[in-house]
Amino acid sequence: MKKTLILMTVFMLSTSAAFAQADDDESLKIAALEALISAPADRAFPIVSRVLKGSGSTELKSRALFVLSQMDHPQSLQLLLETAQADQGGLSLEAIRMIGINGDREAIAQLGSLYTSAGPEMQRAILDAYLIANDTEAVYQLALAAKTPEEFDQAVDILGAMGAREELRKLRDKAGSSQRLIEAFAVSGDVEILSEMAADGSDQERQLKALRALGIAGGNEVNDVLVQAYSSSDSPEIKRAALDGLLVSGHDEGVLALFQASGDPEEKRQLLQTLMAMGSDAVWDIIDQTLDGDE
């Protein structure tokens, strides 16, 4: 029994030492790779290429991709593209990201040919590369060519994050009252187009979505539009959407003004509930005044 314990202890110690040695070796390899960033490209490229095609760890190869993306060598971007096109899981996705970081327009344009046949994960990586490179036109073209609502929504989300208002506006005819497109207008801060949609009663579904999206955009101009939309409409749906927008924007002063102007008990109840949900300080004065006669 004692001998068995001694053997187990020796095995564990030797295994720990082996892991430590492996970690040290990996750290040294990574340091050697990173040192190549400042080396002459013609000498560094063959080494990085060998690492990528070798049997090293995924972490080591990921670092090699980064070094490659920073390298001024005529074949560096081609090797990144080859890695992106290969079926190498996370390494292919990392290569796509590095192409975006590099920002070379020709290499980025070639990613478009991968997009149509790629799976959702790679499609997202390509869109992220366009986002990093701020290539709004490429994302717009992908949105135009989208074959499924999911593909369209992904591209639209990226355009919103890029603040690509012009490209988003050009997609209106294709998308109709798409929820994601309207939300992208809000994320991009396009209050003008959202206000236009909110005032257009020809498509109530789109109008309601636009009112709620205005709350995401926020700002004094938005608050005025929402208060006006609520006050001027007799439609319960429009009022509810405008109130939702005010809740999201946090404009409790506007909701308080609507409460004070209303003579309808049910409406006042809804506005009071909204003020409570907003955490407005004014709600406590209203509650005190409402219950004052019961003391």
pLDDT tens digits, residue range 58-102?
Answer: 888 888 888 888 888 888 888 888 888 887 778 889 989 988 888
Supply the pLDDT for residue 175: 62
CATH 1.25.10.10 corresponds to the domain 189-288? yes
Question: What mean pLDDT do residues 152-167 have?
Answer: 94
Where is pLDDT greater, at 38 or 228?
A: 228
* Rounded-to-integer distance, Cα 180 and Cα 113, Å: 25
**Token digits of residue 15:** 């295994």
pLDDT 10s digits, 249-269: 999 899 999 988 998 999 989
pLDDT 10s digits, 23-70: 778 888 888 888 888 888 889 889 888 988 888 888 888 888 888 888
* Rounded-to-integer distance, Cα 29 and Cα 36, Å: 11
**Token digits of residue 250:** 């946090």
* Rounded-to-integer distance, Cα 292 and Cα 61, Å: 72
Supply the pLDDT for residue 293: 53
* Residue among 76, 74, 134, 78 at smallest CA distance from 101: 134
Supply the pLDDT for residue 237: 95
**Token digits of residue 237:** 């749906």
Supply the pLDDT for residue 188: 94
- Domain residue ranges in the chain: 52-133, 136-175, 189-288
Q: What is the pTM of this model?
A: 0.75
Are 203 and 232 a contacting pair, CB within 8 Å?
Answer: no
* Rounded-to-integer distance, Cα 111 and Cα 211, Å: 37
Residue 120: pLDDT band with limits 50, 70, 90: confident
For 6, phi then psi, to 5°, come to: -65, -45
**Percentage of residues in the chain having pLDDT higher than 70:** 90
Is residue 3 scored above 70 in pLDDT? no
Return mean pLDDT, the chain. 85
Supply the pLDDT for residue 104: 83
* Residue among 181, 198, 286, 178 at smallest CA distance from 249: 198
pLDDT 10s digits, 171-220: 987 766 688 999 999 999 999 999 999 998 888 999 999 999 999 988 88
Are 206 and 175 a contacting pair, CB within 8 Å?
Answer: no
> Which amino acid makes up residue 143?
A
Is residue 1 scored above 60 in pLDDT? no
Is residue 165 scored above 50 in pLDDT? yes
* Rounded-to-integer distance, Cα 191 and Cα 184, Å: 11
State how far Cα 17 lies from the chain centre: 43
Are 265 and 290 a contacting pair, CB within 8 Å?
Answer: no
